[in-house]
Chains A and B, each alone.
Chain A
Amino acid sequence: MTNPPWNLRESYTYDRNVIAEIRRAANTGIYRIRGWGAKRELPTLDDLVVLGASMSRYPLEGYREACGTDVVIGEGRAEIPVRLDIPVTIAGMSFGSLSAQAKEALGRGASAVGTSTTSGDGGMTEEERGHSKTLVYQYLPSRYGMNPDDLRRADAIEIVVGQGAKPGGGGMLMGQKITERVAEMRTLPEGIDQRSACRHPDWTGPDDLEIKIIELREIVDHRVPIYVKVGAARPFYDTALAVKAGADAVVVDGMQGGTAATQDVFIEHVGIPTIAAIPEAVRALRELGVHRGEVKLIAAGGMRSGADVAKALALGADAVSIGTAALIAIGDNNPALEAEYNAVGSSAGYFEDFQTGNDPAGITTQDPELSARLDPEIGGRRLANYLRVLSIEAQTIARACGKSHVLNLEPEDLAALTVEAAAMAKVPLAGTTWIPGDGLGVLHRENS
């Protein structure tokens, strides 16, 4: 029955998606594993609006007055700081989860607009190093493919404590994607269902992390900045501890952040939304006196538009990072491939089974035939265009607020559309001066 009669009522609690999942679990006895990020409705940056200039402040002219977008990370702390032309970076995504062509496309696109890309769980490939002007090398719990030569070839090091899609969880890569090359890079048997470690093998807390950062700085002779990436769960404490451990940048990844594969229950139920994470991270940076100064904040998780970028910066981030949106830009979930998505039991706009390796777009796969479908040059151009749009849109908003640099955006430029967003973002509900919970927060802090 494709169109149920009007007298039938679907349960809100047990809708068809819930029923399908219960049936799937009953059939297989295993949790659901998938890619993408949280799909359920969450508070987002869409719940905020920007307060453009009015009588009390004047806007800047779009075509005549400059509005800077550059960001520098590690200045005064690393011999060679990271210099980005735009405040949007490409998040860590591994070769293995992505095809070599996809990694190359990400590198090409990011480099074309003067921003960075990031390796992932599985080491550095020549494709991404060769095509990435600025490459951030992730230092992960699994240490797959980790070697000091690559560490020294990196423009920055990102110590990954967690990611937004699965704070507290390790990565996964199903056997279909553990090809000979991937297996060799990770020192794993070919075809196994890889479950990565969820915590680092040689440090377990902030005191250890401080010493780990000393070691990494020594190994690279203090040349490049060191980031610490956390999945958004307790961003105030995590950010404060990362700063105290010596991080030059803290990456806070909200629960809308994507993944190549993990348990659905993790993706949908662990962590907090990006809109709630940024202000808490900023609060920690402010309390330590390093906000918009020595230590930079990179916000990630569900960034889609220049409006998201501008709002994240206004909340206090110094840059944002994109993953899922970057994959879409290079061709993921392309409607032109609808028939092929149907053939693998999905549909354009819904495809999330990155773990299967049968991605018709040739992005989340290791299949040579599928991978060859993605032209890295075209993919790179698409990504560069998209990144330009994000940057220009953020500039447009910043100018409308009278700011000569996107980093001059501030919480005062924002209002919230919902009570929840106002409480999380710590900006007033639109049309009021009310920030829910602010008084309680002050009381809590005073008593703690």
Chain B
Amino acid sequence: MSATKLDMSTASLRDVNSTLHAAKSGSFEIINPRGAHAIAAGITTDITVDVADSVGYYSAGMNQVGTVRIEGNAGTGLAENMMSGLVHITGSATMSAGASGHGGLLVIEGNAGARCGISMKGIDIVVGGNVGHMSAFMGQAGNLVVLGDADADLGDSLYEPNIFVRGDVASLGADCVEKELRAEHVETLTHLLGSSGMTASPSDFRRYGSARQLYNFHPDDIDAELAEEGLT
């Protein structure tokens, strides 16, 4: 069955998203997106959407179950708060790609800008190129795989995601440390690289995660110490 064509040179964003939200299944092709924002945001069913050119902010935002493929680049917040499904972009994404994503797979064949995977909560993100500064900032769960380099302050204030980088890391953020790449991580990497169509050897990656030193406050208590020593 051929894809239903949605032409944004004539159809409004509302028309396009209404059509996608109403669909229970099927394939759609969006042509002439002209960098519009929020294209294919809020999909809840197992549909496939192919976007024929570059898109603006928050494309495929909060995607659930659906598959969104973008032939081009994306603006800020690509697939933000994604819950499940697949979002795949052939070009590069600017800031905050995959921000606060809870699940699903986000594939960026090119580079990702600053704060890629910020506040990630379970999403898997695979970036073919480099990621910008403060990527995975305050990340909570999930996997960020970077085949290129990572800019400064990678993984700052991290909770429990895994970050895998094949290239150079400019610097690690607060409480982010390099960790051992164990067999289960190689397995995860193998799976994610395969799912995203990337070719790379898992053993070439280094893994980064939380040192867990910022998880709790560590107040002093001089009075209690003195009391214990019988000095008060």
Residues of A in contact with B (beta carbons under 8 Å apart): 26-30, 142-143, 146-149, 151, 175, 186-189, 191-193, 197, 201-203, 208, 211-212, 214-215, 218-222
Contact = CB atoms under 8 A, between A and B. Distances in A.
B42 A202 contact: no
Contacts of B57: 208, 211-212, 215
A212 B56 CA distance: 11
Interface residues of B, number: 45
Interface in B2-59: 13-14, 17-18, 21, 37-38, 41-42, 44, 56-58
Contacts of A28: 219-221
A385 B227 CA distance: 49
A309 to B, nearest CB: 36
A204 B224 CA distance: 44
Given A27-B222, A218-B17, A193 B119 contact: no
Given A27-B221, A149-B64, 12 more contacts: A27-B220, A27-B222, A147-B81, A147-B102, A148-B44, A192-B215, A193-B215, A202-B100, A208-B57, A212-B57, A215-B38, A221-B17
A189 B160 contact: yes
B159 interface: yes
Query: Could you say which of A147, A148, A191, A208 has the most chain B C-beta atoms within 10 Å of its C-beta?
Result: A148
Interface in B198-226: 215-217, 219-223
B176 to A, nearest CB: 16
B80 interface: yes
Contacts of A149: 64
Given A148-B83, A192-B216, A211-B56, A221 B18 contact: yes
Given A29-B219, A215-B57, A215-B61, A197 B41 contact: no
Nearest to A147: B83
Contacts of B222: 26-27
A11 B115 CA distance: 50
Contact of B13 (A148, A197, A218, A220): A218
B142 to A, nearest CB: 9
A140 to B, nearest CB: 10
B222 to A, nearest CB: 5
B121 interface: yes
Counting from the closest, the 4 A-B pairs by CB-CB distance are: A219-B42, A202-B77, A143-B100, A202-B96
Contact of A187 (B14, B58, B141, B223): B141
Nearest to B83: A147
Given A192-B216, A211-B56, A187 B102 contact: yes
B76 interface: yes
Contacts of A220: 42
Contact of A189 (B14, B122, B159, B220): B159
Contact of B77 (A26, A186, A188, A203): A203
Contacts of B172: none
Contacts of A27: 220-223
A197 B122 CA distance: 17
Given A202-B58, A212-B58, A219 B99 contact: no
B94 to A, nearest CB: 10
Contact of A148 (B38, B62, B140, B215): B62
A100 to B, nearest CB: 22
Interface in B66-115: 76-77, 80-81, 83, 95-96, 99-100, 102, 115
26 contacts: A26-B222, A28-B219, A28-B220, A28-B221, A143-B81, A146-B81, A146-B100, A146-B102, A148-B42, A148-B62, A148-B64, A148-B83, A187-B102, A187-B140, A188-B159, A189-B159, A189-B160, A192-B216, A211-B58, A211-B76, A212-B58, A214-B37, A215-B57, A215-B58, A215-B61, A219-B62
